[in-house]
C-alpha cells in the first residue's frame, strides 16, 4: 500500500485552520473513556450530603485496576451578582478537588475549608486537580422546575445549550500547591495528556446531573421525575476558557508537535486505505448524521462563528449527497478528503478530518500513546552548532515569516505578559498600554527573524555557544529554532503579536484535542465550549459491552 504524505505544517499550523479544529477519536477525553471502559472502572457515591437546596458536599470514588481516585465536590450558596465566568471572580456555585485515594472525614473537612477558596486555599500532594463551576442559572432552574413537576425539560432548549454547569478553571500540574505532574506521570491511567483533568470533568458531569435530580426530588419527593437517560447522556460540562490557556501551544513546542503529528499520521494512514469496508461506511455515516444534528443545534452570538457554522451545515449536506459516489472511488477516504479540500470551508475540511478518523480505531488508536513528550531535552541548547547552520535552519523553518514587516505597528501591535494578580498570561496593546518591558518570549516569528539578522553578522563557522556568550538575549530564540528544526509541528505559522491575532483560534485548537465541542467565542479572547456531551456516563462504563469506538 502506497503511503500518503502528512499534511505539511505550513498547511496545518496556520491560525485560521487551527481556529476551525474539531475533536477526533484521538482527543484526550475519548482516550480516557476507552481506557475506563476497557478496564471497567467502577464509580460509587462514597458520600452524598446535600441539603434540600442542593448545598453541601459529595464524594465520588472511582476504582481503577491499580488505585482509587475521588472527586470531592462542594456546592455553596452564591448571590447572582457574584456569579461570573471571569477568572478574577472570587466565588463560585461549586468547587472540586480530584483526590488521590479515598479521603477520610478530616480530609473532607480540610478540603471544605479550602476548595471553595480556590487559588487562595491550601493544598497537599494528595490533591491532583482543583476546579470550580457555575450554574447556567436560567437553564438549571428550568430543568429543576420541570423535573419537580414530574416532567422532562424542553429538549431543544436543553440540547441547544448542552450543559447545566460551566467550569471556569480546571487546574492541574502543581498549580497552587497541588501535586506536581511528576507524581502521577508514571501511572498508566493518568500518563497521557490531561487525563487527570479529563477525569475530573467527567465526574463533575455526573455531579451536575445528580445535583439537579436531587433538588427536584427535594421540591416534590412524591412526584418528581429523574432526568431521562437520553438527556443525561446528551448533556456535558460547559467550560469558559480565556487568555490564560492561549500561549500553551507556544510554550510547549514538543508536546504540541506530538499532538499534531499523531493526528496527521492518523489522517495519512486512513487516507491510504485502499477501500472502505461496510462497517467503516456505516460508522462514518452514523458519525456524519450525529455531527449534522450537533451542527443544527450549534448556536453562537459571534458573527464569524455563526457564519462558519452555516457554511459547515451546507457543506455537510453536500457531503451527504456525494458520499456514495466518493466512497466508491479508489482510496475512498483520500478521495473524500480531497473533495473537502477542494470544495469546503476550513470548518468543514477539519470536520471531515474528524469524520474520516472515526471509523478506524483499530488503525489509529495506538497513536494516542504517542501524544506526550518529555520536554526537558527541549531546554538544552546545542552550543556546538555553527552560526551558519543555525541561520540556514532558521530561514528554512521560518520562511513563512519572511513577509512580515515588524517595523509596521500593526505587525507589532500586541505583547504577552503574565498578570501579577492571577499569575496567568494576558495580552497587552503595545502602543496603548504600559508593560511592554514585561513581555514574555512568545513573539516567535519576530524573534526568529531578529535572530537570523544577528547571525548574519557572525562568521558562519563561529559556534552558537560563542555567539550566546556575547549575545545571551538570543538564547530563547536559539533554543526554539533548534527545536522547530527537528519537530516541524512545534510552531504556529503566524504572527503571535499582530493586530489581527485572534487568541480564540489557538484556544480552539487546544480544546479540540481535549475533546471539546460547541465552540462559542464570546470575544476574540475567550470562548465557551462543552465537554463529554453525547459521551457515556462514567458510572455506566463498567457495564458497557465491549469498548466504545
Cα separation, 209 vs 329, in Å, equals 46
C-alpha cell at 188: 498508566
Q: CB within 8 A of 338, min separation 6: which ones?
A: none
- Helix (H) or strand (E) holding 457, with range, is none
Task: Tell me the C-alpha distance between 487 and 428, whole Å.
Answer: 30
* Contact criterion met (CB below 8 Å) for 167 and 204: yes
Separation of alpha carbons 504 and 514, rounded Å: 15
Would you say the C-alpha torsion 76, 80, 84, 90 has a positive or negative sign? negative
The residue whose grid cell reads 467550569 is 167
Q: At what angle do helices 346-357 and 253-271 cross, to 10 degrees?
A: 70
Dihedral sign computed on CA atoms, order 435, 441, 445, 451 = positive
Chain centre distance of CA 527: 12
Write the DSSP assignment of 414-451 as a string of letters: EEEEE-TTTSSEEEEETTTSS-GGG--S--HHHHHHHH
Are the CB atoms for 324 and 252 separated by under 8 Å?
no
Q: Which of 478, 463, 469, 475 is nearest to 393 (CA)?
A: 478
What's the pLDDT score for residue 137? 79
* DSSP single-letter state for residue 538: G
Contact 43, 206 (CB under 8 A): yes
Using CA of residue 17, residue 23, residue 25, residue 28, what is the dihedral sign?
positive
Nearest to 531 by CA among 157, 208, 130: 208
Alpha-carbon span 201 to 236, nearest angstrom:
9
In angstroms, the CA 216 to CA 214 distance is 5
- pLDDT per position in the chain (549 positions), as tens? 678 999 999 999 999 999 999 999 999 999 999 999 999 999 999 999 999 999 999 999 999 999 999 999 999 998 776 666 555 567 899 999 999 999 999 999 999 999 999 989 999 999 999 999 999 878 999 999 999 999 999 999 999 899 999 998 899 988 889 999 999 999 999 999 999 999 999 999 999 999 999 999 999 999 999 999 999 999 999 998 888 888 999 999 999 999 999 999 999 999 999 999 999 999 999 999 999 999 999 999 899 999 999 999 999 999 999 999 999 999 999 999 999 999 999 999 999 999 999 999 999 999 999 998 877 655 689 999 999 999 999 999 999 999 999 999 999 999 999 887 767 888 999 999 988 999 999 999 999 999 999 999 999 999 999 999 999 999 999 999 999 999 999 999 999 999 999 999 999 999 999 999 999 999 998 999 999 999 999 999 988 865 555
pTM to 2 decimal places: 0.94
**Measured between alpha carbons, how far is 478 from 368 in angstroms, rounded to an integer?**
30
Continuous segment of H or E residues that includes residue 499: none
* Cα first-last separation, the chain: 25
Cell output for 200: 475530573
In this predicted structure, what is the pLDDT of residue 244? 85
Residue 404 to residue 129: CA distance in whole angstroms: 41
Amino acid at each position: 500500500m502506497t503511503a500518503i504524505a502528512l499534511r505539511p505544517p505550513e498547511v496545518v499550523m496556520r491560525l485560521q485552520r487551527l481556529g476551525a479544529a474539531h475533536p477526533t477519536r484521538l482527543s484526550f477525553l475519548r482516550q480516557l473513556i476507552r481506557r475506563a471502559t476497557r478496564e471497567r472502572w467502577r464509580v460509587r457515591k462514597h458520600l452524598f450530603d446535600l441539603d434540600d437546596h442542593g448545598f453541601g458536599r459529595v464524594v465520588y470514588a472511582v476504582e481503577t485496576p491499580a488505585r482509587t481516585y475521588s472527586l470531592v465536590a462542594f456546592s455553596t450558596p452564591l448571590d447572582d451578582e457574584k456569579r461570573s465566568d471571569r477568572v478574577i471572580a472570587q466565588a463560585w456555585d461549586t468547587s472540586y478537588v480530584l483526590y488521590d485515594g479515598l479521603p477520610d472525614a478530616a480530609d473532607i473537612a480540610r478540603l471544605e475549608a479550602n476548595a471553595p477558596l480556590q487559588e487562595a486555599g491550601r493544598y497537599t500532594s494528595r490533591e491532583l486537580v482543583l476546579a470550580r463551576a457555575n450554574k447556567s442559572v436560567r437553564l438549571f432552574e428550568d430543568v429543576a422546575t420541570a423535573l419537580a413537576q414530574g416532567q422532562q425539560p424542553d429538549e431543544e432548549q436543553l440540547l441547544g445549550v448542552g450543559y447545566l454547569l460551566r467550569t471556569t478553571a480546571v487546574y492541574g500540574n502543581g498549580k497552587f500547591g497541588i501535586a506536581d505532574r511528576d507524581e502521577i506521570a508514571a501511572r498508566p491511567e493518568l500518563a497521557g495528556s490531561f487525563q487527570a483533568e479529563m477525569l475530573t470533568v467527567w465526574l463533575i458531569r455526573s455531579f451536575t446531573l445528580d445535583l439537579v435530580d436531587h433538588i427536584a426530588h427535594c421540591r416534590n419527593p412524591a412526584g418528581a421525575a429523574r432526568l431521562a437517560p437520553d438527556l443525561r447522556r446528551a448533556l456535558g460540562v460547559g467550560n469558559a476558557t480565556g487568555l490564560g490557556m492561549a500561549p500553551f501551544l507556544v510554550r510547549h513546542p514538543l508536546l504540541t508537535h506530538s499532538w499534531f503529528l499523531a493526528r496527521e499520521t492518523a489522517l495519512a494512514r486512513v487516507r491510504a486505505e485502499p477501500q472502505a469496508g461496510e462497517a467503516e461506511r456505516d460508522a462514518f455515516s452514523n458519525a456524519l448524521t450525529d455531527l449534522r444534528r450537533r451542527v443544527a443545534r450549534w448556536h453562537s452570538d459571534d458573527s464569524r462563528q455563526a457564519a462558519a457554522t452555516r457554511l459547515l451545515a451546507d457543506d455537510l449536506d453536500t457531503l451527504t449527497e456525494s458520499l456514495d459516489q466518493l466512497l466508491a472511488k479508489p482510496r475512498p477516504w483520500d478521495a473524500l478528503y480531497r473533495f473537502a479540500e477542494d470544495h469546503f470551508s476550513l470548518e468543514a475540511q477539519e470536520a471531515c478530518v474528524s469524520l474520516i478518523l472515526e471509523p478506524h480505531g483499530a488503525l489509529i488508536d495506538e497513536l494516542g500513546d504517542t501524544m506526550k513528550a518529555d520536554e526537558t531535552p527541549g531546554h538544552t541548547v546545542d552550543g556546538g552548532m555553527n552560526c551558519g547552520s543555525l541561520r540556514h535552519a532558521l530561514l528554512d523553518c521560518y520562511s513563512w515569516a519572511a513577509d512580515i514587516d515588524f517595523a509596521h505597528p500593526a505587525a507589532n501591535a500586541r505583547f504577552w505578559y503574565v498578570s501579577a494578580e492571577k499569575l496567568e498570561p494576558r495580552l497587552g496593546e503595545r502602543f496603548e498600554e504600559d508593560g511592554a518591558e514585561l513581555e514574555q518570549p512568545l513573539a516567535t516569528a519576530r524573534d526568529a527573524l531578529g535572530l537570523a539578522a544577528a547571525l548574519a553578522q557572525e562568521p558562519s563557522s563561529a559556534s552558537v555557544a560563542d555567539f550566546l556568550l556575547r549575545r545571551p538575549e538570543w538564547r530563547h530564540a536559539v533554543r526554539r529554532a533548534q527545536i522547530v528544526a527537528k519537530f516541524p509541528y512545534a510552531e504556529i505559522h503566524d504572527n503571535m503579536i499582530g493586530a489581527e491575532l485572534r487568541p480564540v483560534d489557538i484556544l480552539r485548537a487546544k480544546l479540540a484535542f481535549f475533546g471539546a465541542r460547541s465552540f462559542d467565542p464570546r470575544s476574540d479572547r475567550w470562548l465557551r465550549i462543552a465537554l463529554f456531551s453525547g459521551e457515556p456516563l462514567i458510572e455506566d462504563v463498567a457495564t458497557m459491552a465491549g469498548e466504545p469506538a
